[in-house]
Amino acid sequence: MMKRLSLLLVALFVAVTSVSYVCAADYPARPVQIVVPYSAGGGTDVSTRVMADVIKKYLGSTMVVLDKPGGGGSIGTSFVAHSKPDGYTLGMGAQGPLAMLPHFGGIDYNKDSYDFIALQARNLMAIAVGKDSPITDGKSFVEYAKANPGKVTVGMSGAAGASRIATEGFAAKAGIELKAMPFKGSAPAVTACVGGHIMAVTASPAELVNHANAGNVKILFVMEEKRLEMLPEVPTTKEIGVDFQWASWKGIIAPKGLPADVKAKLADALDKTFKDPEYLEKMKNLGEFVDYRDGAAYQALVNNDSKIAEGVIRSLGMYGMNDKKK
């Protein structure tokens, strides 16, 4: 009786492992869903659809985009965290929901709830001043702020968004005190700087370049390690003596526990997609700054930015504030 039971258990084990192996080997056997935590028609949604259209050539299956907006991106990001880790539900992992929102509290996931597959793109950050500003370059910006603590007004999008973290993080690294002036979006912040209502603005180079070309603002520096092709004359933060880099980003994530072979297939398909000429051309036309990095490099970026964001959020007295509201 015991021998028969043992044989039955062995047979059952072999059957189960065989089924699991076949499922993994056949992946993807049906369409793969990718969750965008923002509204349809926005930048993340559009760039995800570009990726989904091109990746079919390399993944061997359709990728379906599902928009789940709300909560600053936390609703869709949470949905991914609590999905089955089988490779059929992925997500667009953005900086806000992953590296910033967990520090405010009130959500049911953190950056360790995911496997990171590949970084897709970044939205860069720069600081500019109005045309009549006495500040002429990045070094004089830091010097002026040191001589006038708290008097340099800097506009940005939102009171606790990526550009606020960028501004405060830069200030902390430079040893200066700036006066943050949050606006409802980057456009009104840039307009206020052009009009001379604030001294400086933190925004993406793409949002500043036309104003710079028209002579309305001067871009002082970009928060990057290397100069940008689109702004070759603008120095980096490191060049002005402040070793601080910051940019918002997005990439492909999966629920924690993705099978290694499935993860490898996805990583390979994304590697080919993000180097595909058709994909690169479409992203360029959208004004996207493609910065493909593999899963390990993507996770390192998330960990780094989460640490920076936590420090800034704590300094602003906002850490865990959503937990306190409960």
Give which of 39, 128, 54, 2 is closest to 281, Cα–Cα. Answer: 54
Give the single-character DSSP code of 61: S
pLDDT per residue of the chain (326 residues) written in tens, 0 to 9: 444 544 444 444 544 444 444 355 789 999 999 999 999 999 999 999 999 999 999 999 999 999 999 999 999 999 999 999 999 999 999 999 999 999 999 999 999 999 999 999 999 999 999 999 999 999 999 999 999 999 999 999 999 899 999 999 999 999 999 999 999 999 999 999 999 999 999 999 999 999 999 999 999 999 999 999 989 999 999 999 999 999 999 999 999 999 999 999 999 999 999 999 999 999 999 989 999 999 999 999 999 999 999 999 999 999 999 886 65
**Can you say how many angstroms the Cα of residue 191 is from the centroid of all Cα atoms in its chain?**
25
Give which of 124, 91, 71 is closest to 249, Cα–Cα. Answer: 124
